[in-house]
A = this chain, B = another copy of it.
Amino acid sequence: MKSISRNIRKVSMATVGAGLLVGLTAATALAADPNGADTIKEDPTKAVNYSWTLICAFLVFFMQAGFALVEAGLARTKNTVNILSKNFMDFCIGGLAFFAFGFGLMFGGSALAPGLEIGNPIVGLSGFFLTGDAYDVGTNELWIFQMVFAATAATIVSGAMGERTKITSYMAYSFLISAIIYPIYGHWAWGGGWLATLPFGVGAKDFAGSGVVHAVGGLVALVGAWMVGPRLGKFGPDGKPRIIPGHNLAYVVLGTFILFFGWFGFNPGSTLAATDLRISVIATNTFLAGVTGAVVTMYYSLMRTGKADIGLACNGALAGLVAITAPCAYVAPWASVVIGALSSFVLLGSLWFVENMLKVDDPVGAVSVHGANGLFGLLCVGIFADGTYGGVSGLIAGNVDQLIAQLISMAAVTVWALGAGYAIFALIKATMGLRVSREEEITGLDITEHGVNAYPPDEVVVADGVPVSTPVGSARGVALV
């Protein structure tokens, strides 16, 4: 970390220099306004648009808590602190990585705000560290909104690799996905890159990130879960998967509620403007796809097993939410119900395929929820877009072109996320190692990696006639100072 930090300035200067050679995109540079007084004078609607965008960003931030709870609930007690730590640290480390590198690689050349002038269709090359002209209210508004999206992509992976991955390796991964993997595809789709300007339809469209956030996260999760290998005992000697239940379904349900709540920031907020009143339709669509995903999945489980599987229904809701994320602005409410219903079958099919065909152990279903349905969401734009918004028309509006752009985008994200994911996990495996030892895994990662239990009993040791302490670990680190 230290050498990285020391070299950050040098690297960013070098990158900018390289960018100048590779090619410039933006023509006019906007003047930086770190105070905001000039910006609001020029355009008074910025007040409501900043307010909207920031509050939505805060809601998206809160999704981190939802991911943490869902993943902790689906983990065993002995790995609870570990999965919570990963979920907490990935947005922290990812935040710094996106500040230093990711944002510049993603939005450089987009000219969406001051300081983002340099870049080319493949990669952005300006805006690093939010310095220079990027110290501007508009650039910072864009940054905080994009930051919480990057953090969402990063945190999807933790659950799929849960219960056996080293925390230090996971933290290194967090840095790399937020600094490099997420931003590059993000640049192609949202930062002025080549996908947005494809000569089919209006170019590939991904309104709020089924592809940019969820497919990237879910596909990197697939690579990670495959490379770290299944948990001990997950597959029997006959290769058949066994069920390993998580330790707290209340966390799973609460986490899903939080994720659903945050999604209302994720999708409607992606207009970056409240003056765009389509936000109300987007909110409705988001709601309908999510609830339909849950209802279809729940009745499927009831019909199939006679039991109401709430864990699966939660994943059904999330599947619907992921699938509607790309098309949410382009489709009508009825189509959201259809998309939500279909997302449930995409989820169920993918869960079966990943576990039984690929023999990959994904303890939380992240690959199916985010990866499969992320791709499906990109596809839905090409099918269900009705032409009422942004000029995007899909099959139901009699237009085939848009579907082609979407298919190219799906191919691009698949190749990039699997390839780049493989590269970083191979790098980490070769240097730090990915997986804890067999003994550590059996003991549980909480004790071996963190020195604590998630739920220490009140008292075990008696001192001076008073019960005071447990023999193992500490819930806080005072003693170590």
Give the docked Cα–Cα distance between A334 and B307 (Å). Answer: 51
Give CA–CA (A47, B274) in the complex, Å: 5
* Pairs A–B under 8 Å by Cβ, sample size 23: A47-B49, A48-B48, A51-B52, A51-B274, A57-B264, A58-B59, A58-B264, A85-B253, A88-B294, A89-B308, A93-B291, A96-B337, A99-B288, A137-B277, A143-B280, A243-B476, A245-B469, A245-B473, A248-B250, A301-B477, A307-B451, A308-B450, A312-B480
Q: In the complex, how many angstroms separate the beta carbon of A224 from the nearest chain B beta carbon?
A: 18
Q: Is the CB of B58 within 8 A of A265?
A: yes
Residues of B within 8 A of A81 (CB): 249, 310
Contact across chains for A311 and B477 when beta carbons are under 8 A apart: yes
Asked whether, in the complex, the Cβ of B337 is within 8 Å of the Cβ of A88, the reply is no
Instruction: Give the distance in Å from the alpha carbon of A314 to the alpha carbon of B91 in the complex.
Output: 13
A33 to B: closest C-beta gap in Å = 8
Copies of this chain, count: 3
Q: How far is the CA of A241 from the CA of B476 in the complex (A)?
A: 13
Bound state CA distance, A336 and B81, in angstroms?
28
Query: A11 → chain B, closest Cβ, in Å?
Result: 15
Inter-subunit contact A479/B34 (CB<8 Å): no
- Determine whether the beta carbon of B140 is less than 8 Å from that of A333: yes
Q: Which residue of B lies closest to A268 (CB)?
A: B54
Give the distance to chain B from A313, nearest Cβ to Cβ, in Å. 7
Q: Is the CB of A307 within 8 A of B450?
A: yes
B51 touches A51 (CB 8 A): yes
Q: What chain B residues lie within 8 Å of A221 (beta carbons)?
A: none
- Contact pattern, A 161-173, Cβ under 8 Å of B = 1, otherwise 0: 0000001100100
B-chain residues with CB within 8 Å of residue A48 when the two chains form the complex: 47-48, 51, 274
Quick one: given A96-B291, A280-B141, are A47 and B275 in contact (CB under 8 Å)?
Answer: yes
Can you list, as one digit per residue, whether each of A15-55 has a CB less than 8 Å from chain B (1) or not (0)? Answer: 00000000000000000001111011000111111111011
Q: Are B54 and A279 in contact (CB under 8 A)?
A: yes
A131 interface residue (CB < 8 Å to B): yes
Task: Give residues 339-356 of A contacting B (CB, 8 Å).
Answer: 348-349, 351-352, 355
In the complex, what residues of B have CB within 8 A of residue A337's CB? Answer: 96, 99
- Within 123-150 of A, Cβ neighbours of B (below 8 Å) are at 129-131, 135, 137-138, 140-141, 143-144, 147
**B140 near A468: Cβ-Cβ < 8 Å:** no
